[in-house]
């Protein structure tokens, strides 16, 4: 059996690792080193010149990090991957790689708050413009393209509104105009959605979230469909900007990745049970979840996602004060701004993750004062439902 024929559930456990090369160690070793010695000066020269493959310095390559990258490329069906010290380091690297002064980036109308901030910095300092559109049809995307547009940056599902973007439509337009497509796949993970198979050029993750799954690592990952281009990014943007991951964090991600499939199944099944409960509550106005048949882009979700995942957004009747009081009455469910952990987390996007977005633009994205985002964890669903119920009732 070849690795090419392995199922994803097996890839996350075995891909890229040969224990016989590491003294039979069942677990991937942690190479906690900053540099590597050469056999002689001539070997050092050959490696620096590129005439010989081999390790030089851990900012340029590390065996533990390389195993993580190999496994992520296999999961996303890509040709190369890079691990970074944060999700935003991965976002920064790909946008710096793709743009130059005077270029334009076309974005889905909702993106992570810090990505929004980065694009603002790039526009202010380097005159790289950006615009947000809904991307509902190919015609809408076509109309938004300018001569300066070089890439389309997409989040789907969108944080935190759970709106969806039709990736096939985006790819179709991009190919007609020779544009690059970047997809933030954090909310879905490679287990639920594979943008590279649809035709995107790059997919990225805040690996802090579902890839790790245990709330103890800050990391980012970038996967591309061109091995040579990924190597170019490694030896230019990543090397010189320096947003690398530590070997220990890479080791933790390898460990977390082994349980990604079963975790995603539990996140999803718990989310479905919580949605059924939320639909019974008069306090809840709207629920946003990709695999909910009432979701306006349900057909898109079914076409490009394996399941709905563990993120739910919903609006509570009233405004910011009602939302805040509800959050404060929760006990088991923790108020925190991350997602994808074993613990169930809840937050108020308007005043937390997206507080840096100007109110007018935030409202255009659909992030109202009554919107709440719930990252469903791995606890027993009955206990989570009980906590939500008492928070609704104990007013």
Q: Quick: pLDDT tens for 256-305.
A: 999 999 999 999 999 999 999 999 999 999 999 999 999 999 999 999 99
Whose tokens are 């009980």? That residue is: 386
Q: Could you report the per-residue pLDDT of 98-130, keeping only the tens digit for each?
A: 999 999 999 999 888 899 999 999 999 999 999
How many CB atoms lie under 10 A from the CB of residue 118?
A: 18
Pick the CATH number of 260-393 from 3.90.1150.10, 3.30.70.420, 2.40.50.100, 3.20.20.80: 3.90.1150.10
Q: Give pLDDT, residue 1.
A: 44
Whose tokens are 């923790």? That residue is: 334
Residue range 8-257 in CATH 3.40.640.10? yes
Q: CATH 3.40.640.10 in the chain, residues?
A: 8-257
Give the Cα separation of 250 and 246 in Å (integer).
6
| Integer angstrom CA distances of residue 344 from 101, 232, 327, 334, 339 | 42, 39, 13, 7, 8
| Buried/exposed code over 48-65 (b: 16+ C-beta within 10 A; e: otherwise) | eeeeeeebeebebbbbbb
Residue 48 predicted with pLDDT over 50: yes
Q: Could you report the per-residue pLDDT of 51-101, keeping only the tens digit for each?
A: 999 999 999 999 999 999 999 999 999 999 999 999 999 999 999 999 999
Q: CATH 3.90.1150.10 in the chain, residues?
A: 260-393
Mean pLDDT of 4-15: 86
Which residues carry out catalysis? 59, 112, 184, 209
DSSP H or E segment with residue 180: strand 180-184
Mean pLDDT of 195-217: 97
């Amino acid at each position: 059996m070849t690795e090419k024929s392995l199922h994803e559930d097996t890839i996350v456990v075995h891909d890229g690792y040969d224990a016989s090369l590491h003294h039979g160690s069942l677990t991937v070793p942690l190479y906690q080193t900053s540099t590597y010695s050469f056999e002689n000066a001539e070997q050092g020269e050959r490696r620096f010149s590129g005439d010989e493959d081999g390790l030089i310095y851990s900012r340029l390559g590390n065996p533990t990090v390389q195993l993580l990258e190999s496994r992520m490329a296999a999961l996303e069906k890509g040709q190369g991957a890079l691990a970074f010290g944060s999700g935003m380091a991965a976002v920064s690297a790909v946008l710096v790689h793709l743009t130059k002064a005077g270029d334009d980036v076309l974005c889905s109308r909702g993106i992570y708050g810090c990505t929004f901030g980065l694009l603002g910095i790039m526009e202010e300092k380097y005159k790289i413009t950006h615009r947000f559109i809904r991307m509902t049809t190919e015609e809408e995307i076509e109309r938004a393209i300018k001569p300066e547009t070089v890439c389309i940056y997409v989040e789907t599902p969108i944080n935190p509104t759970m709106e969806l973007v039709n990736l096939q439509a985006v790819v179709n337009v991009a190919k007609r105009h020779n544009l690059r497509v970047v997809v933030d796949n954090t909310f879905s993970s490679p287990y639920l959605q594979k943008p590279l198979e649809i035709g995107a050029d790059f997919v990225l993750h805040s690996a802090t979230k579902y890839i790790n799954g245990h709330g103890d690592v800050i990391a980012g990952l970038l996967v591309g469909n061109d091995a040579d281009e990924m190597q170019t990014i490694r030896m230019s943007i990543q090397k010189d900007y320096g947003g690398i991951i530590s070997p220990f964090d890479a080791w933790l991600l390898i460990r977390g990745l082994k349980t990604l499939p079963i975790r995603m199944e539990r996140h999803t099944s718990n989310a479905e049970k919580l949605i059924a409960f939320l639909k019974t509550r008069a306090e809840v106005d709207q629920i946003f979840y990709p695999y909910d048949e009432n979701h306006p882009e349900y057909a898109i979700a079914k076409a490009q996602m394996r399941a709905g995942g563990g993120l739910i957004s919903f609006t509570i009747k009233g405004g910011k004060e009602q939302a805040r009081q509800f959050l404060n009455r929760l006990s088991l469910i923790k108020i925190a701004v991350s997602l994808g952990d074993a613990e169930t987390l809840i937050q108020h996007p308007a005043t937390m993750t997206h507080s840096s977005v100007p109110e007018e633009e935030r409202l255009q994205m659909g992030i109202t004062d009554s919107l709440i985002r719930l990252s469903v964890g791995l606890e027993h669903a009955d206990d989570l439902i009980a906590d939500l119920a008492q928070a609704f009732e104990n007013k």
